[in-house]
Structure 1
Amino acid sequence: MAVNTLPQSTDPATLRQAQKDATLRPRDLADQLGVSEAHLLAARTGQHDGHSVTRIDPHPDRLMPALEKLGPLMALTRNDSIVSEVTGTYGGYRAGDHAALVLGDQIDLRIFPKHWVHGFAVEAETKQGLRRSFQIFDAAGDAIHKVYLPLDADPTDWLVLRDQLATGNTSDTLDTAPREAIEDAITDADKVEKLRSEWDALTDTHQFLMLTRKLRINRLGAYRMAGEPYARRLPAAAFGQLLTAMGDTGTPAMIFVGNQGCIQIKSGSYGAVKPMGPWLNYLDPGFDMHLRNDHVAEVWVVTKPTRRGPAVSVEAFDAKGGLITQIFGHRTADVDHNGAWMDLVAGFATAQEAAE
């Protein structure tokens, strides 16, 4: 991949020229320039270099319900280490001040509206044709969620929605806030027994984060504190091996990929893992996932009790303590696990133990 050596600046003309000359993907270019990805889009507000960028109202209550009319779309959610791309429809939107849901055909989202701060409707000329998208960013200008219209789709409803959501703001500059620091593991040795006791009393996985807040620790800190049988650490290499095993066995599972503003969940079985440099990829019909395997620093097998049976997850964290992704067994209406997933994880963990 070519490397662009360009000056750090939020000057719109400088950013437009950098994008015109760039060979990097927008996120990588933004990192190299020392700006956010949203700064790059803001600089192209209006018509520039084959791009049309319109500022839109980013609130999910306006955008999400309207997307269902557009038919099949590609939903993209990512963080620094993993990207999830799911094709489906945006149905079943449920609003909420703290958390909202999309429960459509294939597209399954958990949305945290306070982080949906900057929005853009984008038309970009590509080698494949004109690509249209809605793109949402947080206060720091980092991507929260993107929605892509298929290249061969009729754009009429997309254009109508763009105009309905347009704010009228034509500025090519953007005010952003500093990024929130990634929180490393927070532990408290005096609370280990309290944690284990209340962990045993959990009846729903959503209660777990409430428990960590109550004890003034965090997710990774809780895993390190609790130890087995609640949480068992595996070697970092185990996560890529697990993805490969999932593909080889066709074991149904739920892959959670998220950031502070959106979590995207893909449920089902997966094809073979395709490595490419540091990336591990699922390239399945209607679903692509790209993981920077070299970012995985800690892997945990976690068991939480629920009313519907044990919920077992395998979770990957980066070197800073940030959650990369979680994988759970594919759930049904009756249970929070499935036998194939439980057998796979149990056998995998045993094999890892034997190798240590």
Structure 2
Amino acid sequence: MNDLSAETLRAARRDSTLRPLDLAQSLGVPEAALLNAELGTGVTRIDPKPGRLIPLAGALGEVMALTRNRSCVIEKVGTYREFHDGDHAAMTLDAEIDMRMFPRHWVHGYVVELDGKRSVQVFDAAGDAIHKIHLRAESGAAALAVLRDTLALSDQTPPTFAERAAPEGARMAPDRADALREDWGRMTDTHQFNALVRRLKMNRLGAYRVAGAPLVRPLAIAAVPALLDRVAETGQQVMMFVGNMGCIEIHSGGFGNVKPMGPWLNVLDDRFNLHLRGDQVAEVWAVDKPTKRGSALSVEAFDAAGELIFQCFGMRSEKGGDPRTWAALVADLPAAVEVAA
């Protein structure tokens, strides 16, 4: 990790046209180091625990909520409502800002008031972004001041960052394939899946590689742009999950304005944006999990390191979805020729 001075980082930020993440990567520093360099000059360290932060964020009114991983960014316009706290997991259940939060990863928080822009930004122990709240023109300035003053840490010195954990990759146990398929078939809720694969000493991607048909089907990389195009063309109602270890943000509904730009696959609707690096998609799977409400069919993409990029489910019928049309759409996506071992 480069040990650059605050002055050097401030100058780099002022002179750059890159996104903060890209600038930080070019400098060899965590993204949060760019904010450390501005402490006391428009940036304030705050307590980022969701149980304190999110209720105060609700008073900001309409904002843009942003969550990302290395390959995908989801942005939703709305208001933080229906917050439910928990030691291990918290959530908002608003129709627009729908999130699942894992508080142990919400380590470093900042209120940022720079260059005429206002935001609240949260990072993990390594200084990688977990979640950002970008205020809009109509967002409450007074509410931001209350949030900042209420959550400001007494210690405003720059924090240090932990080493970034290496990606786990696909963790497989082929000798437990039969047990995997048997337990998979007994699921009654998709939330049981993570515990199931952990018990068998696997992870999500490893389980997909082991399970085989009819539980999973490998798709071609071209299935990702095809999925976006067909959802837009058909008006299919979906649930798009994008996140990282600390936060998952969900878009529920349709979308229409799909715009590829270079390596980026974008959805540019008024209140929902998605920015996906299509060139970083390495594996795509169609996944069928049983639940007490019926099949939960998803399309899921992973990068070359085995990290999950996104999951896309069809909306359940009681929520206005059409499972049969969704199943036909997924069945028509191009299949993979072969899968990496």
Taking structure 2 as the reference length, the TM-score comes to 0.95
Deviation of the 1:319 alpha carbon:
0.7
Is 2:291 aligned against 1:306? yes
User: Which residue of the partner structure matches residue 132 of structure 1?
Assistant: 118
The letter for the 2-side match of 1:170 is Q
- Highest relative contact order (Cα 8 Å, sep 6+), 1 or 2? 2
What is the alpha-carbon distance in structure 2 between the residues aligned to residue 27 and residue 174 of structure 1?
A: 18
- Which amino acid letter does the alignment assign opposite residue 118 of structure 1? H
- Between the two proteins, the alignment pairs up a number of residues equal to 337
User: Counterpart of 2:36 in structure 1: which amino acid?
Assistant: A
For 1:22-171, what aligned pairs fall within 5 Å after superposition? 22-47=16-41, 52-125=42-115, 130-171=116-157
Q: Could you tell me which residue of structure 2 aligns to residue 338 of structure 1?
A: 323
| Residue identity matched to 1:79 | N
Does 1:220 find its partner at 2:210? Answer: no
TM superposition shift of 1:347: 2.8
Query: For 1:136 and 1:318, how far apart are their aligned partners in 2?
Result: 23
Conserved? CA contact 1:212–1:222, under 8 Å: yes
1:233 corresponds to 2:223: no
**What is the aligned counterpart of 1:320 among 305, 316, 331?**
305
SS at the partner of 1:300?
strand
Root-mean-square deviation (CA), in Å?
1.8
- Counterpart residue identity of residue 169, structure 2: D
Q: SS of 1:91's equivalent?
A: coil
Q: 1 CA distance for matches of 2:322 and 2:166? A: 34
Deviation at 1:166, TM superposition (A): 0.7
Deviations 1:110-164 (A, max 9, x none): 0000000000000121xxxx22111000000000000111124341111111111
CA contact (8 A) 1:86 1:286 kept: yes
SS, match of residue 309 in structure 2:
strand
Q: Which amino acid counterpart does residue 123 of structure 1 have in structure 2?
A: E
For 1:14, give the aligned amino acid: T
When residues 141 and 185 of structure 1 are mapped into structure 2, their CA distance, relative to the original with a 3 A threshold, is same
Bigger Cα displacement from structure 2, 176-185 vs 296-305: 176-185
Cα displacement string for residues 245-276 of structure 1 (whole angstroms, at most 9, x for unaligned residues): 11111111010000000000000001131011
Partners of 2:200 and 2:183 lie apart in 1 by 10
Taking a change above 3 Å as real, the CA distance of residues 154 and 301 of structure 1, as seen in their structure-2 partners, is same
The 3-state SS of whatever aligns with 1:274 is strand
3-state SS of 1:140 partner: coil
| TM-score normalised by length of structure 1 | 0.91
> Is 2:181 aligned against 1:191?
no
Instruction: Flag structure 1 segments of 5+ consecutive residues without an equivalent.
Output: 1-6
Unaligned runs of 5+ in 2: none
| Separation in structure 2 between the aligned mates of residue 333 and residue 71 of structure 1, nearest angstrom | 29
